[in-house]
Structure 1
Amino acid sequence: MKANDIIYADYSASTPPHPEVIRTMTEVMERIYANPSSIHELGGQADQLVLRARSVVAQALHVQPQEVIFTSGATESNNMAIFGVVREAMRLAAAGNPVHAIVSAVEHPSVYACYEQLKLEGVEVSIAPVDNNGRVDLKQLEQLIKPHTVILSVMHVNNETGAVQPLREIGQLVARYPKLVFHVDGVQGLGKLPVELADWNAHLYSLSGHKIHGPKGMGILVKRGNLKLTPLIHGGVQEFGLRAGTSNVPGILAMSKAVRMAVEAQAKDEEKLLLLNERMLKHIHEIPELVLNSPICPLGAPHILNASFPGMKAEVAVHAMEEQGVILSTQSACSSKLHKPSRVLLAQTHNERVAASGLRISMDASMTIEQIDRIGSALKETVERLKPLVQRER
């Protein structure tokens, strides 16, 4: 099948870099090769570009430049945030005093796995449950908070279902506990929905370049105010002493451009995505065998729809769709090769058959209604073709 005949609907896993991002990265790689930490003029030129990029990101996110930390991706940003807060708390805690942390049941593996590791290190960890829309239950969340709770991680938009978390309400709850740090994984939200860090009372906010038509290998952690973190990487004093290592000047400039473009296009792209979402929902509802797992907008984001074909292994359906020229996915790309039921869907539906058969259709504003219709037709044909297999399994 020719590349032009393929419909890519896995934008939550990765996006193609914008031509302007590629151009920026290429030009900087060609012209600016000095180390920005060097004291000579060429190093100073590189350093000035990094400072300018930091200001661009800060302006786009309505934060201060010194609150923007460039990383290698959202996985590093999330690790830096979680381990940074908890290990700083452990360092300051009196001997024998416990440290407690809370994570939502539906976080991305780059967040959830950090809390699994913290449990091995003796940290007390609580899992915040979600309702049948995949949104954190506020009453149950409040019951989990303890005097020694130091961090809470709740994402903006779920990467599998598109569920939008009630961050404003969670932030209001967090504000009642002055020692509690609120960490938001914002990877799937930026460019699709408004970002309001001050309104959310978010202290830490993570981003990934390649989810917003930026470069792979680049991310951002926004660290608000004077919050103290214990560094993960030790060495030089780059990134305010929090992230040692020679600055990736081309990546930083490309990342800042991607963030600015995503924020500027957000309102227009959201409008287009809502139309695509509505059209895709129509196709899903016309297939009785499918179970919709995504909440309807505005409880769900416009660019992600997840539906299960109970009884069918998700990877079988993904490959059947690929044969028809449609690229979609099961759970997060980080977990899709595990061939296990989705932890996110299990937490939401408590149904293993549903959790093992979820298909994620993630869209981009560059897509057309015609492409959505082709996805719908391919989905209907795939379900019809695989239905006998499901019936034999019962």
Structure 2
Amino acid sequence: MIYFDNSSTTKALKEIIDTFVTVNEQYWANPSSIHEFGHQTDELLQSARKQVADVLKTVDEKVYFTSGGTESNNLAIFGLANKYKHRGNHVLISAIEHPSIIEAAKMLQKQGFIVELIPVNKEGYIKLEELDSLLRHDTVLVSVMHVNNETGAIQPINEIASLIKSKSRAVFHMDAVQSFGKMVVNFDEQYVDAITISSHKIHGLKGSGLLALKSTIEITPILFGGGQESGVRSGTTPVPLSVCTAKAIRIANANLNTHMESILKMSEEVTTFLKKFSSIKIISPEIKAPHIVSFSVRGVKGEVFINALQKEDVIVSTSSACSSKQTQTSHVLKAMHLEDDYIKGVIRLSFSYMNTPEEVQQFKRIFTKVMNVIKGD
């Protein structure tokens, strides 16, 4: 099997699975318990928290372990908007955000907040002049994803952050689920106040992730109970998952340059290959994350190609795994005003350093065969 769907999820590293088993076997106590075993387990949890804080250049107590990207994004939207609502009730999100941001923002509207979408151009980049005009004195939160999960477009985070800080008092949240571990993410340099990371996107385990804040940022909880995670995320903290999340982050960060180089070579070779077909349009823009190549075949539904490739043991996806089973057109592609001839035929390839050049060569042969059958190219 050739697996080119790494933006949906990645294969967990064996050493992370081994760590998960070890922690479950040796540190199964509740970290909130006051006995010595609980204290030892809590020490392990706090060590994992410090490891993440060191990588992200923030303080330990501002790293909150969650169940993954969706919970972290929900916590950011509800928790930050409500914490700073004394400053105003205006919230901005980009038009191409992940559903976990968009749906949470819709709920904010029902709570009385004014939510507006920042439009993007045909390449999927935020229109900075539009952001400039949308920012207001009462804007309390802006949320923009670093890398779009469907096209790989990289948003100009520094420029966005500079505008936000110069025109408002808003807190800036960045969804880095598709960027961390694939490209440089400088939480300490990008003027970002809050960042979301998901473990299973970087060869960690599903059901775990985090939201990290800058030291000066406060947040209101959305889960209530025993006050775990410094009162921000109640519920018994799953120590094995949290430790594995920290390990996945450390590994991804330590090997970033090598992994980026490997992924970029595969991505560029596939892009060059796809451009040879007259009926194919590359959707991914020039400035994009190295691991995503999004393209469309004119006049053919993406599902047709996915099924044909799957019969050849090649796994790809249409756009986002979170919405690919739904029949409606991608909100990202609509926001980019993609032409009707291409909007139903989008296919996303997403690579990992676990993929090989040999797999790329095999994909090229199989894809050519499939194109000849379906399109006659």
For residues 342 and 383 of structure 1, the distance between their equivalents in structure 2, rounded to whole angstroms, comes to: 24
Paired residue for 2:323?
A: 335
Alignment partner of 2:154 out of 161, 164, 182: 164
Paired residue for 2:106?
A: 116
Paired residue for 2:81?
A: 86
1:170 and 1:200 in contact (8 A); partners too: no
Alignment partner of 1:305 out of 275, 289, 293: 293
Paired residue for 1:33?
A: 28
Which range moved further: 271-280 or 221-230? 221-230
Q: What is the CA deviation profile of residues 309-362 of structure 1, one whole-angstrom value per residue up to 9, with x for unaligned ones?
A: 122121121111101111000111110110222111221134244222110000
Q: Which amino acid aligns with 1:66?
A: E
For residues 31 and 80 of structure 2, the distance between their equivalents in structure 1, rounded to whole angstroms, comes to: 28
- State TM-score, norm by structure 2: 0.97
Deviation at 1:89, TM superposition (A): 3.4
1:345 and 1:354 in contact (8 A); partners too: no
Gaps of 5+ in 2: none
For residues 379 and 102 of structure 1, the distance between their equivalents in structure 2, rounded to whole angstroms, comes to: 40
Aligned in 2, Cα 1:88/1:198: closer, same or farther, shift over 3 Å?
A: same
- Let me know the Cα RMSD of the aligned residues: 1.5
For residues 216 and 288 of structure 2, the distance between their equivalents in structure 1, rounded to whole angstroms, comes to: 33
Deviation at 1:381, TM superposition (A): 2.5
1:373 aligned counterpart, secondary structure: helix
1:246 aligned counterpart, secondary structure: coil
Alignment partner of 1:382 out of 358, 370, 373: 370
Deviation at 1:306, TM superposition (A): 0.2
Deviation at 1:8, TM superposition (A): 0.3
1:127 aligned counterpart, secondary structure: strand
In the TM superposition, 1:193-204 aligns within 5 A as 193-204=183-194
For residues 353 and 152 of structure 1, the distance between their equivalents in structure 2, rounded to whole angstroms, comes to: 33
Paired residue for 2:231?
A: 241
2:217 aligned counterpart, secondary structure: coil
Paired residue for 1:7?
A: 2
Does residue 131 (structure 1) correspond to residue 121 (structure 2)? The answer is yes
1:153 aligned counterpart, secondary structure: strand
Q: Which amino acid aligns with 1:276?
A: M
Q: Which amino acid aligns with 2:327?
A: H
Gaps of 5+ in 1: 1-5
Q: Which amino acid aligns with 2:294?
A: N
2:6 and 2:201 in contact (8 A); partners too: yes
Paired residue for 1:357?
A: 345
Does residue 324 (structure 1) correspond to residue 319 (structure 2)? The answer is no
Q: Which amino acid aligns with 2:348?
A: R
Q: What is the CA deviation profile of residues 60-81 of structure 1, one whole-angstrom value per residue up to 9, with x for unaligned ones?
A: 1222111211000010000000
Question: Deviation above 4 Å: which 4+ runs of structure 1?
Answer: none
Deviation at 1:228, TM superposition (A): 2.3
For residues 58 and 84 of structure 2, the distance between their equivalents in structure 1, rounded to whole angstroms, comes to: 25
Which range moved further: 116-125 or 78-87? 116-125
Which range moved further: 347-356 or 241-250? 347-356
Q: Which amino acid aligns with 2:101?
A: V
Alignment partner of 2:62 out of 56, 64, 67: 67
1:247 aligned counterpart, secondary structure: coil
Deviation at 1:305, TM superposition (A): 0.3
Deviation at 1:178, TM superposition (A): 5.2
1:168 and 1:201 in contact (8 A); partners too: yes
Does residue 347 (structure 1) correspond to residue 335 (structure 2)? The answer is yes
For residues 138 and 112 of structure 2, the distance between their equivalents in structure 1, rounded to whole angstroms, comes to: 14
Q: Which amino acid aligns with 2:18?
A: R
2:73 and 2:101 in contact (8 A); partners too: yes
For residues 261 and 247 of structure 2, the distance between their equivalents in structure 1, rounded to whole angstroms, comes to: 22
Q: Which amino acid aligns with 1:153?
A: S
2:166 aligned counterpart, secondary structure: coil
Paired residue for 1:100?
A: 90
In the TM superposition, 1:157-236 aligns within 5 A as 157-177=147-167, 179-236=169-226
1:340 and 1:356 in contact (8 A); partners too: no
2:92 aligned counterpart, secondary structure: strand
1:361 aligned counterpart, secondary structure: strand
